[in-house]
Structure 1
Amino acid sequence: MISLFDISLQLNGFPIKKAKADLDAITQLTDEEFMLFLQKQKDEIVDFHLKNNLFYNELVGDKIAPKWENLPILNKQNLQKPLEERLSKGYSKKNIYLNKTSGSSGTPFVFAKDKYSHALTWASNIMRFGWFGIDFNHSYQARFYGIPMDFIGYQKERFKDFLSRRFRFPVFDLSDVVLEKFLQKFRTKKFDYLNGYTSSIVLFAKYLEQKNINLKEICPTLKACFVTSEMLFESDKKLLEKQFGIPIINEYGASELDLIAFENPKGEWQVNSETLFVEILDENNKPVPHGTEGKIVITSLYNKANPFIRYEIGDIGILDEKSTPQKPILKKLIGRTNDVAILPSGKKSPGLTFYYVTKSIIEDDGNVKEFIIKQTKIDSFEIEYVSENELNSEQIQKIEDAITLYLEPNLNFTFTRKNVLERTNRGKLKQFKSYL
């Protein structure tokens, strides 16, 4: 069978062959060689951005070749500037991979990766899914994700799904009628694996539980289920294992970086040490001992288009005591949970739906800094946001149109501009909250 997936990456200028070979070489290093490799990558990426990225240079200030521990911690607010002001010399919209973060942390921004670093991201995905017998060129994916609802965005995503051997189950409406339709697809299609938002896959499993159906029995080709984007609670994992009859693999990633941690076949949450350097720091930005919780700070070792050096992702985590530099193990991730919105029509929508709403309206000018959405009544929502300029009626209309498109019409919204938004005691912005 032809490797459509690899070919489409290659055609788009992502050197996947080279990336796979390089990644393979990194995984073969001895502990000693790995330490040298890591030091070299860290030095090179900092050196590159100090010489070629004005934004990073200004952030670091005029320290002479600063020590690693003195480098500034980069946060999402730093990155809410137009992309042009953050791109490295030699990079433009023509020779990069461009995307927006989901804004799941409430702080959205546009980012870039150079083509080689994006190819490495894919090589890393391919390797990790391969641990479970999944091959992107041939395996068929049941994808529980959102999808852009504007015509061009929708068609583009569907075409990408076709190339990537994925069938998409949009998660904006998870009422029983829709879940029944999902179930019918599993009866008729030979899926190899499920992949998608934790909350949506858990809702599907709860539906199967009501019906007393085991998914593997009606779709025997299934090998594994990969959940992402939100916390997977132990009780939910047990439910998924019971209703699906296949291994449930927990992944933790960020679109602007890479897969950060991925459960390996031994059940350990293995941190990606090939393309990222992950630190756990205390509130004074000092490393904490393994086994202690702290904020997760990540360096992208290869991305030359945008600096992600000591980047605070907004989650709290603990590295296992048995972690080594080459094989760090994430013991616990704290953060990333999501509510479900229940709408007048009976439709259930995961809180993640709102990222699609906001993603479709967040501009690259960095005006809207953060936002949260609260559901106060079945048909009423409050949007609180922090911005340089108040949203004008045209922007509000755009948001309301997007909400009608992704959720349903006739919902009431109030917009309140604030100086600061309330955060959880972990300092995390809970993006969506239902008060029903």
Structure 2
Amino acid sequence: MKGLRIALIGPLPPPAGGIANQTLQLATLLREAGATVELVQVNPPWRPAWTAQIRGVRAALRLPPYLWQLWCAAGRAQLLHVMANSGWSWHLQAAPAIWVGWLRGKAVVLNYRGGEAPAFMARSATLVCFSLRRAHAVIVPSAYLARLFRGYGISTQIVPNVVDLARFRPAPRRPGTAQILIARHLEPLYDHATALHAFALLRQRLPNARLIICGEGPELPRLRMLALSLQLQTAVHFAGKADRAAMASRYRQADLALNPSLADNMPNSVLEAWASGVPVVSTNVGGVPDLIRDGVDGLLVPPGDAEAMAAAMLRLLTSAPEAQRLATAGWQSAQRYSWQRVAPLLQAQYRRVLRRPPRSGYTALVSSLLFPLHERFKRHDSAALLGPMEASQWWPLEHIEGLQVERLRALLLNASEHVPYYRQMFARIGFDATRVHDVRDLRCLPVLRKTHINDNRDDFIADDAGELKRLTTGGSSGEPLIFYLGKQRISHDVAAKWRATRWWGVDIGDREAVMWGSPIELHAQDLWRARRDRLMRSDLLPAFDLSPARLDEYLTRLQKQRPAMLFGYPSVMSLLAQHARQRGVALDRLGVRVVFVTAERLYEEQRATLTEAFNAPVANGYGGRDAGFIAHECPEGGMHITAEDIIVEILDAQGQPVAPGQDGAIVITHLASRDFPLIRYATGDVGALDPRPCPCGRGLPLLQRVAGRTSDFVVARDGTVMHGLALIYILRDLPQVRAFKIIQESLDCTRVLLVSVDGLPPSLRLSIVTQFRARLGESVEIVIEEVSVIPAEASGKHRYVISKVGAPSCP
């Protein structure tokens, strides 16, 4: 957060309420983290004091200066963090802050709090949501509020309240005392009246019990009269408001903390009691059950039930072991709400909104108009899919898994009715697609391998399939595959890649340089594609001829284009970076904002090389033409699976699922592949799932790693370095070739291992040798060996290309 300019908008003490205290505490913590924080107070003291007695007058007098201060602060800040509550404070304070940020083009993080949100949203949802959707991120402190807003179509991220563990800390308990503490304002919402009735019942069993009520508010006279009528005037002390130091002392003197609220969200008083080692009794309202686990780190009782409240307090005050057990568990729970744990979550949301794609300029024109028109012309639904996918990425995992089950059942039913291969297979094994209710039901089906598709290709085509595109695999793993994609599948993959691109603050239409595969003999793209790329500001740098002269040309083009993003093979871009360093060409001032890499395993040394060279983060992607856009890295480092479209299984050698974190074979089911279904398809790759959530807050599950996916460089006889795919393209689409492996033994000899269908005809053998020599050199010996099987590497990974010739240093 160092150097970040933040306008923090919210109330400040007095009165010392939960939101006011959190605003003040957050400002202090952000400043200590290196941010510049400008506080915009929504509740400044106003004189003359009589204005506070006339309904609406104080608010009307405060509004104009507040709006002016807000407008000026927004001009100086990079980001607006708005603390919001329900009621009129939303309409007069939070909503104007969102709109001011929107008008000034600044990032807006809306931090919504308050246990009365359900009633407020029920009254004002349309108006509230109209403003909420203009915020770039909505964060809430609890799962309770996240569920509430999800019901209104608002995606939120949970960033909990923070408790100061240095200030609130346990103290030795004093035996024989029974002091109860309530730290809530004296307002009807917090139901101190029921607490007094419960305390009166408790006093019948514990005459020495005392109740301390900290806070102030309009209920004070009524509560004093109630305490008097219950003959509690000597046992109840109304302590008034207390500063944070005094409150910490109050907690250390307490034997029990009571929270009697009628509505609540994530009460700070519970966190402070936990941190102070004090057991807690609370009503089970609102978000409290998401915070307190009944019987584990606190006791929960129904609201307004004085007898249940008294019984719970008596239980803890008369059983020291149980009170200590709950206090210890509560202290452990409080550790989750330290600044050290919460700061990364908040910082992730700040980075997210600051990296948002531009909403104006040429990039916005391309992403919002020209590219959607391009996709519609191709009869792709990518643009229509993007919006729902940008919303669903923030769903909780269980919600995403529900969507997976729904789509999986639809895919399997369609396959059973319209795809000959699956119709026959389902009948043979007795599989009923209508009985699928969990993604684990996929385990009833066998794993699909490339040989199954190659041997039965036509039977995988649905009888109701639309227009299909014929493709072949071009990566470095496994047997070559010829397959088909329908427009639905292509649309989903494009939308998934588009969404991941936008995670990094760039968008279609930003200047892009692509170091990607294209046949070496292809010197120019077709006219239509060239014009399209020019319109989209995308420049293709073919990854095959990587001679020093060609790399010099690429450096010149990059310096001229100054791309916002790079996309391509990590090995190729690392080679370019090394060449630039040897040439003394600086790449760190080109303005590259992100380097996207895919199609190979990304090694950490490559990441470091690219990050240093371009002064930009590296975003790793995993997928393929056959398997789809499987996963992509977010700015927080999580490798998110495109779970709305793809189910990923990690299996051991016996085909059984492995535990999260353990390596196994990656098997995918693509839920948008109805025209040519890929169900439990073995990618040939090895990887592991990551059970931990990502700090970014996305509900999409994570891959922990992908192992062994790489293509080597090959070196021609004259020293030209080219990507291994230059040779793969010669073999991969030949129907007579089932599998192959290319081993460059030396500059003078390259071996080609082939598994052919019915033996390789002499004419085809001669064609392969001729094409290899055209790339590697006319004098190079090409040895073709026909074999029955090509074994996997020791790691379990198949590789198309192995070069034993190191790429020479660029002169």
TM over 0.5: yes
Report what 2:772 is aligned to.
403
In 2: Cα distance, 1:62 partner to 1:82 partner = 18
Partner of 1:312, secondary structure, is strand
One-letter amino acid of the counterpart of residue 565, structure 2: Y
Q: CA deviation at 1:123?
A: 0.8
Quick one: which of 111, 118, 130 aligns to 2:502? Answer: 130
Q: Describe the SS at the equivalent of 1:280.
A: strand
Counterpart in the other structure of 1:304: 674
Q: Who is 1:345 aligned against?
A: 718
Please tell me whether residue 183 in structure 1 is matched to residue 555 in structure 2: yes
Alignment partner, residue 392 of structure 2: 26
* Alpha-carbon shift at residue 35 of structure 1 (Å): 2.7
Tell me which residue corresponds to 2:415. Answer: 49
Decide which of 103, 114, 117 is 2:489's aligned counterpart. Answer: 117
1:159–1:78 CA distance, 2 compared to 1 (3 A) = farther
Q: For 1:88, which of 458, 462, 480 is the aligned residue?
A: 462
Return the TM-score normalized by structure 2.
0.50
1:17 alignment partner, SS class: helix
- Superposed CA offset, 1:250-280 (max 9, x none): 1111112322121101112122212111111
Q: Deviations over 1:98-130 (max 9, x none)?
A: 321115224111222221221111111111001
Contact 2:512–2:564 (Cα < 8 Å) also in 1: yes
Which residue does 2:14 correspond to in 1?
A: none
The farther-off stretch of 345-354 and 30-39 is 30-39
1:292 shift after superposition: 1.3
Amino acid at match of 2:431: I
1:148 is matched with which residue: 512, 519, 525? Answer: 519
Please give the secondary structure, in 1, of the residue aligned with 2:485: strand
More displaced, 383-392 or 156-165?
A: 156-165
Alpha-carbon shift at residue 83 of structure 1 (Å):
3.8
Alignment partner of 1:329 is 2:699: no
Q: CA deviation at 1:323?
A: 5.1
1:267 is paired with a residue whose SS is: coil
Relative contact order (C-alpha < 8 Å, sep 6+): which is higher? 1
Q: Trace 1:256-405 onto structure 2 (pairs within 5 A).
A: 256-322=626-692, 326-359=699-732, 362-363=733-734, 365=735, 367-404=736-773
Contact 1:227 1:251 in 2 (8 A): yes
CA distance in 2, matches of 1:425, 1:400: 29
Change (3 A) 1:57 1:127: same
Is 2:431–2:444's contact at 8 Å kept on the other side of the alignment? no
Pick from 237, 240, 248 the counterpart of residue 618 of structure 2. 248
Q: TM-score under structure 1 normalisation?
A: 0.90
Cα drift, residue 152 of structure 1: 10
The more displaced of 335-344 and 116-125 is 335-344
Q: Secondary structure at the match of 1:179?
A: helix
Q: 2:431 aligns with which of 54, 61, 64?
A: 64
Structure 1 equivalent of residue 798 of structure 2: 429
The letter of the residue matching 1:27 is Q
2:588 aligned counterpart, secondary structure: helix
Q: What's 1:5 paired with? A: 371
**Distance in 2 of aligned mates of 1:244 and 1:398:** 41
Aligned equivalents of 1:113, 1:371: Cα separation in 2: 24
Give the CA deviation at 1:216. 2.5
Q: Give the deviation of 1:85 after TM superposition.
A: 3.2
**1:9 match: secondary structure:** helix
User: Is 1:73 paired with 2:447?
Assistant: yes
Counterpart CA distance in 1 for 2:675 and 2:623 is 19
The 3 A distance-change label for structure 1 pair 173 and 310 is: same
Q: Residue deviations 1:74-111, cap 9 Å, x none? A: 1112121364332111226xx12332111522411122
Provide the rounded CA distance (Å) in 2 between the counterparts of 1:14 and 1:395. Answer: 38
Taking the aligned partners of 1:339 and 1:149, their CA distance within structure 2 comes to: 16
Which secondary structure does the structure 1 equivalent of 2:784 belong to?
A: strand
Flag structure 1 segments of 5+ consecutive residues without an equivalent: none
Code of the residue aligned with 1:63 in structure 2: it is G
Residues 753 and 785, structure 2, Cα contact 8 Å, conserved in 1: yes
Structure that is richer in strand per residue? 1
Question: Paired residues, what number?
Answer: 427
SS of the counterpart of 1:148?
coil
Report 1:206-221 matches (<5 A).
206-217=578-589, 219-220=590-591
In structure 2, what is the Cα distance between the partners aligned to 1:380 and 1:160?
A: 41
> Which one has the bigger helix percentage?
2
Cα distance change, pair 55–433 in 1 and its aligned pair in 2 (3 A): same
Letter matched to residue 339 of structure 1? D
Please give the root-mean-square deviation of Cα atoms over the aligned residues, in Å: 2.4
- Find the residue that maps to 1:216 and give its secondary structure: coil
Deviations 1:180-232 (Å, cap 9, x if unpaired)? 11111122113111110111111111112323443122x23x21111111111
Q: Give, as a single letter, the amino acid of the residue that structure 2 aligns with 1:256.
A: D
Partners of 1:286 and 1:164 in 2: how far apart? 45
Moved more, 162-171 or 139-148: 162-171
Q: 1:69, 1:330 → 2: CA distance? A: 20
Check conservation: 1:148, 1:154, Cα contact below 8 A.
no
Q: What CA distance in whole angstroms lies between the structure 2 residues aligned with 1:242 and 1:152?
A: 31
1:306-335 per-residue CA deviation (whole Å, 9 max, x = no partner) reads: 111111101111111315994222112111
Larger Cα Rg: Structure 1 or Structure 2? Answer: 2
Distance (whole Å) between structure 1 residues aligned to residue 607 and residue 680 of structure 2: 32
Please state if 1:107 is matched with 2:479. Answer: yes
CA distance in 2, matches of 1:315, 1:423: 11
